[in-house]
Structure 1
Amino acid sequence: MTNADSRTDAASSGATPAVRLTLLTLTAMVVGSMVGAGVFSLPRRFAQETGVAGALIAWAVAGVGMLMLAFVFQTLAVRRPDLDAGVYAYAKAGFGEYLGFFSAFGYWASACVGNVTYWVLIMSTIGAIAPALGDGDTALAVVLSSVGLWAFFLLVRRGVKEAAAINRIVTVAKIVPILVFVLLALFFFKPSVFADNFRGADYAGSLFNQVRGTMLATVFVFLGVEGASVYSRHARRREDVGRATVLGFLSVFAIFASVTIVSYGLMPMSEIAELRQPSMAGVLEAAVGTWGEVFVSAGLIVSVLGAYLAWTLMAAEVLFVAAKGDDMPRFLGRTSGDDVPVPALLMTTALSQVVLIVTAFSDDAFNFALDLTSALSLIPFLLAAAFAVKIALGSQREKAVGRGTRRELAIAVLATLYTAFLLYAAGLKFVLVSFVLYAPATFLFVKARREQNRRLFSPAEGAICAVSVVGAVVGIVALAAGWIEL
């Protein structure tokens, strides 16, 4: 056995991992994961769907719902300290190996698709001064994005500790321009414009539809709230996982809501809806001139690169832990001497590369990738919340620490209802496209079972597999017939 293999086995068996992360670093990773491309696209995304009233309701719903999810991850970190890698481990413990595999794969695929939105937005930002890059979906943009994608692969391959330290520095650097945007927007705030935008434009539809239309955007920007949970095996103290989750969420929620609402006081929402992404740059340009666009664009590039780093780390970690739990092929459970899961990292980068190429054929690469990222994450979130309900009701009492309370149960139920509503808000389109990715992934599950000389599927797992395959077939037919457009 090699030194790298020994280190891997030690980490998976509960021995002291090579890297120990503090509360500050874990919180920075949560904030760094959430503050990325999404916040810079919020003004346009919201203006396309709703006015001030709908935005306030949407943020209230998203804030409460995601706070419940944050509390769920905090509670599960304490009640089930034996489970690592958060989202994946909770789904497996609560609902079996196959749904646990789906959760791991869905979360990982969500991260890979989300990483593509970062490169698209960077190229779109530079495209404002270099027309050859277009909206981030031209051939040149794809080539340059690919170079950046593999450069980050080489950086992360050097070690988790080094990458985490860089992320902590970048997190601080990228928060500054966003806060400056909010302060400048308040200074140039126009009450009359804000009032005109309050009820929404004629194209916005009913208030319920306005709120529903913003839900996937809010999911996207809050992805990463579970970041500390994913890295629980690296935490210096177990209780820091829950604390980092809640602290990171509350900090980011205040930023996201502020960016959205103050934008309505600078421009008519119909004009915001027509801005190119990153729309935050266009909003600030309207208020202070060209330097505002340049300032936000520079902040965006720093922010997005930091978020990409954090998400690449988390995506590889999920594959690695799933492999160590025998739910992914064994090759994904190997690490380097620096405690980096290199095969998982390589597979993460490769899928991002494939999706990046696909964006060149999309009519709206950024928005489609953003919504697909959100949709893929919903099943893992729903399973984690439902598992919290089971724990609160006393399920697996012999494995859980402490007893469930009414407060814990209420939080878990609210989180479950919220994620179920998000699946409804996503619509059938993105559910079917998600199945197109989920169904073929079963080959990885089959490979893992064969490596262990185990039966491929139980009757229940076979039924779930059949549903996913049918959904994938319907999704492919819908794409081929043009009922679903990329």
Structure 2
Amino acid sequence: MKQKQLGLFSLMAAVVGTIVGGAAFNLPSDMAAAAGSGPVILAWVITGLGMLALAMVFRNLSLRKRELSGGIYSYARAGFGPFIGFSSAWGYWIASILGIVAFVTLFFQTLRFFSPLFGQGDNLPSLVGGIAFVLFFHWLVARGIKEAAIINIMTTVAKLIPILIFLIIVAAAFKRDVFMADLWGSGSFSWQSVGQQVKDTMLVTLWAFVGIEGAIVLSGRAKRAKDVGVATIVGLLGTLAIYLLISVLSTGILSQAELAALPEPSMAYVLKAIVGPWGAVLIVIGLLVSISGGMLSWYLVTVEIPYVAAQDGVFPDRFAQVNRQGTPMVSLWWSTGITLLFTGLVYVSASTYQKVYSMASVAILIPYLLSALYQVKLALVGETYLKDGRRTRDLLIGALATGYSLWTLYAAGLTYLLMVSVVYAVGMVLYLWVRRGQEQSMRKWDWIVAGIIVVAALVALGGGMV
């Protein structure tokens, strides 16, 4: 039985900790590489509305379906059956692991600021350091979920301090003429150009908000169920304000071309342009702290997913085993093992931080979409709405969250969808093994979905995309 260990601040730290990782510190160049000042603002407005709708979906489902303490995995299973539920859990688990790998890659890319030893984060010293980095967080989480959550609160506060200093200094140095010079990116305004620029930023803005469901995944450990929704909404709104300010204020310091050409972490070089080298050092240290905190938040979420799925009989039973501190140790060991495997593959393939986080973002969009669809389903059939006048409102929110998820999948492009299909295809082997001998383990529509995933995976493998 889960221990109810996490209060409101721990849950908020889980949300902010998983959202504010490495992405925030490279927003100036990531956004400028795709869009001018105006489209950047529009992209954040669209992402903000879409993510707010998703956050409200998560909050609503956490209150109306309190028995589904596994969060987005549980919603997919309750709404669309065991196979879709398993696929959601598996995809989210692997996406979380890819998120951890992205943090490891960025951590050692960032260390090159102080030493050339680690190159671009894809050489042998980075691989050895990455393995030690992952094993350290394995040890930390093994000591107990509550203890790790306390440390996560501390790192969350620590990572926000350099960001706030950056925002104050950049706001004071903001130049309106620099901001207006690249307002629409290509000079004159055109809807086609603006639309394309907004579309090209979607994976960046999505990755910046991946982790919004952190409190939902840990809801089974919350002291009070109502804290889950509060932590999700507050964490989202606060983070949205920070991201919007980082992106927009930076366009008033350097031109779009200058921002796009900055190395990682670009926030450091924006601040360096204003105050000199000490500003870059401050941001780089903040990024290293942020990545460390993000790693811990992601680890807390990652080990919880197979644990909850095992309790529901979808993952093997042994994933539900815990140690004396209440940590799911089998889940932790498997999560660490796969993380180390992927870390090695990144080293062999020389994959970039952007490629890894793009795959993680697309993989996690599927569980987001299924959660939004479950909200729509509940509102349509009226379940939990017998004497509740909020049915129409929740239907509209669910539809908005569904539309945003579909739009972002489209914006991601076919290549990443095909690459992610390989991840989901591998998961089906585990599902069939766990469900062997059980009647009706796969329904007609399940087989159709499985067939589509397999075909997409074969196309990806045949095209050398993975």
CA shift for structure 1 position 408: 1.2
- Report deviation, 1:191: 2.1
Q: How does 1:58-457 map to 2 (within 5 A)?
A: 58-201=43-186, 206-362=193-349, 365-397=352-384, 402=388, 404-450=390-436, 453-457=438-442
1:201–1:269 Cα contact (<8 Å) kept: no
Letter in 1 for 2:27: L
Distance 1:393 1:355 in 2: 41
State the distance in 2 between where 1:79 and 1:138 align: 49
How many residues align? The count is 463
User: Which digits, 9 at most, give the CA deviation of each residue in 1:215-241, with x for residues without a partner?
Assistant: 111111111111111111111111111
Report the Cα offset of residue 282 of structure 1: 1.5
SS of match in other structure, 2:113: coil
Whole-Å Cα distance in 2 between the matches of residues 401 and 156 of structure 1?
Answer: 43
The residue correspondences of 1:441-480 to structure 2 (distance < 5 A) are: 441-450=427-436, 453-479=438-464
Q: Tell me which residue corresponds to 1:4.
A: none
State how far apart, in whole Å, the 2-side matches of 1:54 and 1:459 are.
43
Q: Is the 8 A contact 2:54 2:372 kept in 1?
A: yes
Distance 1:346 1:212 in 2: 38
Query: Equivalences for 1:49-60 in 2 at 5 Å?
Result: 49-60=34-45
Flag as ranges the 4+ runs of structure 1 deviating above 3 A: 361-364, 395-398, 400-404, 452-456
Q: Unpaired segments of 5 or more residues in structure 2?
A: none
Partner deviation per Cα, 1:62-98 (whole Å, 9 max, x = no partner): 0000000000011111111111121100000011111
Kindly state the Cα deviation for residue 401 of structure 1 after the two structures are TM-superposed: 9.0
**Contact 2:122–2:350, Cα closer than 8 Å, also in 1:** no
Alpha-carbon separation, structure 1, partners of 2:196 and 2:150: 42
* Distance (Å, rounded) in 1 between the aligned partners of 2:450 and 2:279: 51
Separation in 2, partners of 1:300, 1:105: 29
Please tell me the residue identity of whatever aligns with 1:424.
Y
Q: Verify the 8 A CA contact 1:329 1:447 in the aligned structure 2.
A: no
Q: Structure 1 residue 186: deviation in Å?
A: 1.1
Determine helix, strand or coil for the equivalent of 1:393. Answer: helix
Matched-pair contact (CA < 8 Å) for 1:124–1:278:
no
Deviates more, 1:129-138 or 1:310-319: 129-138
Q: % of aligned pairs identical?
A: 37
SS at match of 2:166: helix
The one-character-per-residue Cα deviations of 1:5-59 (angstroms, maximum 9, x if unpaired) are: xxxxxx2xxxxx3242111221121111111011011111101100101101000
**1 CA distance for matches of 2:218 and 2:7?**
11
**Mapped contact 2:83–2:441 kept (Cα < 8 A):** no
CA contact (8 A) 2:159 2:286 kept: yes
Contact 1:121-1:278 within 8 A present in 2 as well = no
Aligned partner of residue 317 in structure 1, secondary structure: helix
* Helix, strand or coil at the partner of 2:162: helix
Mean CA deviation greater in 279-288 or 149-158: 279-288
Distance 2:158 2:25 in 1: 15
Which position in structure 1 is the counterpart of 2:21?
Answer: 36
* One-letter code aligned to 1:477: G
| Amino acid of the structure 2 residue aligned with 1:157 | A
Question: So what's the TM-score if we normalise by structure 2?
Answer: 0.96
Look up the SS of the partner of 1:187 in the other structure. Answer: helix
User: How far off its partner does 1:125 sit?
Assistant: 1.1
Deviation at 1:258, TM superposition (A): 0.7
Preserved CA contact (<8 Å) 2:64 2:384 = no
**Residues 102 and 356, structure 2, Cα contact 8 Å, conserved in 1:** yes
TM-superposed deviation, 1:396: 4.0
Question: Does the 8 Å contact 2:319/2:331 carry over to 1?
Answer: yes
Shift of 1:360: 2.2
1:132 is displaced (CA, Å) by 2.5
**Structure 1 alignment gaps of length 5 or more:** 1-10, 12-16
Q: Deviations over 1:355-410 (max 9, x none)?
A: 21222244551110111111001110000000001111235459x99565221111
Question: 2-side partners of 1:36 and 1:312: how far apart?
Answer: 13
Deviation larger for 299-308 or 271-280 = 271-280
The CA deviation at 1:457 is 2.4
Tell me the alpha carbon deviations over residues 125-165 of structure 1, each in whole angstroms, 9 at most, x when there is no partner. 11123212112111211110111101110110110010001
The one-letter amino acid of 1:415's match is A
Provide the rounded CA distance (Å) in 2 between the counterparts of 1:285 and 1:201.
27
Aligned to 1:3: none
AA matched with 2:246:
V
